[in-house]
Amino acid sequence: MASRQRLNAKTIRNMKPEDRARLLDDLRKELLKLQSQRARGTLENPGRVRTVRRAIARILTIMNEEARSKASR
């Protein structure tokens, strides 16, 4: 996943909801893996944890914004 492009809000908004959900699931799995590596002391890139957590937060924020806009219509 390290080769993945940077996930900014614009690229996330342009994704289909199914792709966004799949990406969220993948990022959560990666975060779990990184956290277990950190606990064992074998984590090579500690900055990746922060990047993954922020990407998850961005996706959830955009999903919540879209859900609120649909609910207010």
Confidence category of residue 23, pLDDT binned at 50, 70, 90: very high
Residue 50 predicted with pLDDT over 70: yes
For 72, phi and psi rounded to 5 degrees?
Answer: -85, -10
CA distance 52 to 28: 8
- pLDDT confidence band for 5 (50 / 70 / 90): low
Confidence (pTM): 0.89
Q: Where are the domains of the chain?
A: 9-71
pLDDT at 3 over 50: no
CATH top-level class for 9-71?
mainly alpha
Q: How many CB atoms lie within 10 A of CB 9?
A: 12
